[in-house]
Amino acid sequence: MPTRALTVADAVLFEQILEIAADAIVTIDETQDIVHFNRGAEQMFGYDAKEVLGTPLNRLLPERFRAAHPAYVSSFGRSAETARLMGHRREVYGLRKNGTEFPAEASILKIDRTDGRHLYTAVVRDVTERKALERRQQFLADLSATLAGSLEYESTLASLVRLPVPVVADGCVIDVVRESGTLRRLAYAPPGSLMADPLTTLAAHHAPDWDSPAVVIDVLRTREPALVRDVTDEWLEAHTDTAEEASLRRATGVRSLLIVPLVARDQVLGALTLMRASGEPYGESDIPLAIDVASRAALALDNARLYRDARHATQARDEVLGIVSHDLRNPLSAIAMCSKALLDGRAEESPATRRELAAAINESAGWMSRLIQDLLDVSTIEAGRLSVQCSRESVADILERVASMFARVTEERGVTLTVTVNDDVPEIRADGERLIQAIANLVGNAAKFTGRGGAVRLHARTLGNDVAIDVEDTGPGIAADELPYVFERYWHKARGGSERGSGLGLAIAKGIVDAHGGRIEVRSTVGVGTVFTIVVPRDGSC
């Protein structure tokens, strides 16, 4: 009797231990029906014990494993083994009541009953989080390896927008802050997916600006991640600029967003947007991974930018050396030849010849001086040290002075040069000499590329609180794909032309206008002509 009481007490004790175990403990009989289902199993599989007791074990397995699993249990029953431990078995999967699968590890114990039959008890551990962590660690390792494979800026951007898909996102968007301060957008979703086409259109035609209601703008300004668990129609209406943009975003099927800033060396380079159209929405637990991805992405992007800038610096150095070696050599040779002629005395008998030689020396020296000043100006502008001394200036006087500078040149070329100023154009607060320099650079280019019989027109007009100055020509025009680059240094090489210049004029003009708090724009039609427009505030704070 005491022995019987002890056995019952032990059974109760073991039952209590099984009930508080965190792992699922499931026991089946030889028919593979469930005879024990602890509390851990209830929490893991989502069933109450009373729902599964007496039912086949197969209901806890994904469909693809149900045909083979009974034979596996029977084989284990016939073997001499009494247990198979976790880590010694292949990976298994469970099926929750709600239909979702999860990866698991299981140990199985064979218990012999007194009647010769067997019971099988499995201890099942849900390894969803561990597997997710392993996948994330592998993803981060692959991300770092891929990004380390190239320092090319465009290649790095292309990798950044693709790599998160499909491991941590169904689609991905990167908004990059350009050096000019404007935003450039890249997007990726797997080809053929519901998200692919509308996302491509959004990136091409609906990139945000700094006044956009898009959440990415808040992320760029605050440098803090933004989590949007549920993308509703109301949310889309509130965070898009147009109905077309909202419709395209709706067409992507996106249900959840996670946006993180790309920050390197305390500089905001852009923002990474992860998009989910299926599965669980993003939550707080996803933010650390997104931040880790963004940190690696920002470092790679910063390195690519530094590499690109270094290459540009090397190219600029080579360009300057080319200018110095070529453009300075011609006037220097002219000066040497003319001065030698004067020193040799061959021109003593002809005062007119002496004057011609002296004029050639003076003109060559002037060209050398202008070239050197251009190089100094562009260096000052790029260093952010260009200073302007502002006062009240007459726009009409500025344009007339520019026109007088080019009157002889345009006449010799057979090009008509006209100046018109609207009656309502006021005086402006500006550095007159610098503004003349900027406009003269535009007029010089226009005169150079306008053929005989063509025209160059200077026109001033009011534009709200600003004054706009147009420099219009009837030259060959500029191709649309070249327009974004016209204000870069040495762009003249792409345009061609019969005369060589420093290629710095437009870059200097833009720098001068920027220093006035204004802007410079260009529009052009090939075969028709080009219009450069300088817009400056009438009451600038320069």
Judged against a pLDDT cut of 70, whether residue 415 lies above it is answered with yes
Using CA atoms, how far apart are residues 264 and 14, in angstroms rounded to an integer? 57
The pLDDT of residue 6 is: 41
Using CA atoms, how far apart are residues 289 and 309, in angstroms rounded to an integer? 30
- The structure tokens listed for 233 are 């129609």
**C-alpha to C-alpha distances, 459 to 43, 178, 443, 469, 470, nearest whole angstrom:** 79, 32, 12, 6, 5
Q: Looking at residues 155-160, what average pLDDT do you find?
A: 87
**Superfamily for the 2-126 domain:** PAS domain (3.30.450.20)
Judged against a pLDDT cut of 70, whether residue 89 lies above it is answered with no
What's the 3-state SS for 346-359? CCCCCHHHHHHHHH
Question: What pairs with residue 418 in β-bridges?
Answer: 457
Question: Which has the minimum average pLDDT: 75-89, 113-127, 131-145, 207-221?
Answer: 75-89
The pLDDT of residue 420 is: 96
Judged against a pLDDT cut of 60, whether residue 253 lies above it is answered with yes
Are domains 2-126 and 132-302 of this chain identical in fold? Answer: yes
The pLDDT of residue 4 is: 43
Using CA atoms, how far apart are residues 440 and 237, in angstroms rounded to an integer? 48
- The structure tokens listed for 304 are 């690519």
Judged against a pLDDT cut of 60, whether residue 373 lies above it is answered with yes
The pLDDT of residue 15 is: 61
Q: Looking at residues 134-151, what average pLDDT do you find?
A: 79
Find the helix or strand (DSSP H, E) in which 194 lies.
Answer: none
Question: Which has the minimum average pLDDT: 53-62, 133-142, 392-401, 405-414?
Answer: 133-142
Using CA atoms, how far apart are residues 239 and 234, in angstroms rounded to an integer? 9
**Residue 103: helix, strand or coil by DSSP?**
strand
Question: Burial, 1: exposed, middle or buried (Cβ in 10 Å; 0-12, 13-18, 19+)?
Answer: exposed
The residue among 370, 362, 447, 432 whose CA lies nearest residue 395 is 432
Judged against a pLDDT cut of 60, whether residue 409 lies above it is answered with yes
Contacts of residue 146, defined as CB under 8 A and 6 or more positions apart, other chains included, come to: 159, 163
The residue among 357, 356, 369, 377 whose CA lies nearest residue 328 is 369
The pLDDT of residue 523 is: 94
Higher per-residue pLDDT: 177 or 335: 177
Higher per-residue pLDDT: 375 or 49: 49
DSSP state for residue 37 in the 8-state scheme: E
181 confidence band (pLDDT: 50, 70, 90): confident
The pLDDT of residue 1 is: 39
Question: What pairs with residue 117 in β-bridges?
Answer: none
**C-alpha to C-alpha distances, 254 to 112, 160, 232, nearest whole angstrom:** 54, 20, 9
The pLDDT of residue 305 is: 86
**C-alpha to C-alpha distances, 422 to 153, 467, 534, 536, nearest whole angstrom:** 46, 10, 15, 16
- pLDDT, tens digit, for every residue of 225-244? 999 999 999 999 999 989 89
The pLDDT of residue 497 is: 46
Judged against a pLDDT cut of 80, whether residue 85 lies above it is answered with no
Question: How far apart are the two ends of the chain, measured CA to CA in Å?
Answer: 105
**C-alpha to C-alpha distances, 415 to 256, 409, 456, 477, 496, nearest whole angstrom:** 61, 9, 7, 16, 19
Q: Looking at residues 155-172, what average pLDDT do you find?
A: 89
Are residues 458 and 402 in contact, defined by beta-carbon separation less than 8 angstroms? yes
The residue among 127, 112, 52 whose CA lies nearest residue 76 is 112
Question: Which has the minimum average pLDDT: 357-371, 399-413, 453-467?
Answer: 357-371
Question: Burial, 328: exposed, middle or buried (Cβ in 10 Å; 0-12, 13-18, 19+)?
Answer: middle
The pLDDT of residue 330 is: 61
Using the CB atoms, write b or e for 131-168: b if 16+ within 10 Å.
Answer: eeeeebeebbeebeebbeebbebeebbebbbebbbeeb
Question: Which has the minimum average pLDDT: 256-260, 310-314, 418-422, 434-438?
Answer: 310-314
Judged against a pLDDT cut of 80, whether residue 90 lies above it is answered with no
* Spans of all domains in the chain: 2-126, 132-302, 327-382, 391-537
The pLDDT of residue 326 is: 55
Query: Rounded mean pLDDT of the chain?
Result: 84
Q: Looking at residues 318-326, what average pLDDT do you find?
A: 61
**Superfamily for the 132-302 domain:** GAF domain (3.30.450.40)
Question: Which has the minimum average pLDDT: 53-57, 100-104, 116-120, 285-289?
Answer: 116-120
Question: Which has the minimum average pLDDT: 97-106, 182-191, 246-255, 302-311?
Answer: 302-311
Question: Which has the minimum average pLDDT: 46-50, 79-83, 430-434, 495-499?
Answer: 495-499
Judged against a pLDDT cut of 80, whether residue 105 lies above it is answered with yes
Q: Looking at residues 480-485, what average pLDDT do you find?
A: 87
Find the helix or strand (DSSP H, E) in which 32 lies.
Answer: none
Q: Looking at residues 355-380, what average pLDDT do you find?
A: 74
Residue ranges of E strands in 24-75: 24-28, 34-37
- pLDDT, tens digit, for every residue of 446-457? 998 999 999 999
The pLDDT of residue 72 is: 85
Using CA atoms, how far apart are residues 213 and 329, in angstroms rounded to an integer? 56
3 confidence band (pLDDT: 50, 70, 90): very low
Judged against a pLDDT cut of 50, whether residue 5 lies above it is answered with no
The residue among 300, 340, 3, 306 whose CA lies nearest residue 157 is 300
**C-alpha to C-alpha distances, 222 to 263, 267, 294, nearest whole angstrom:** 11, 12, 15
Judged against a pLDDT cut of 90, whether residue 8 lies above it is answered with no
498 confidence band (pLDDT: 50, 70, 90): very low
DSSP state for residue 483 in the 8-state scheme: G
Find the helix or strand (DSSP H, E) in which 150 lies.
Answer: none
The residue among 246, 277, 262 whose CA lies nearest residue 165 is 277
Q: Return the number of other C-beta atoms located less than 10 Å from residue 468's C-beta.
A: 20
19 confidence band (pLDDT: 50, 70, 90): low
In this structure, which topology does domain 391-537 adopt according to CATH? Heat Shock Protein 90 (3.30.565)
Higher per-residue pLDDT: 136 or 483: 483
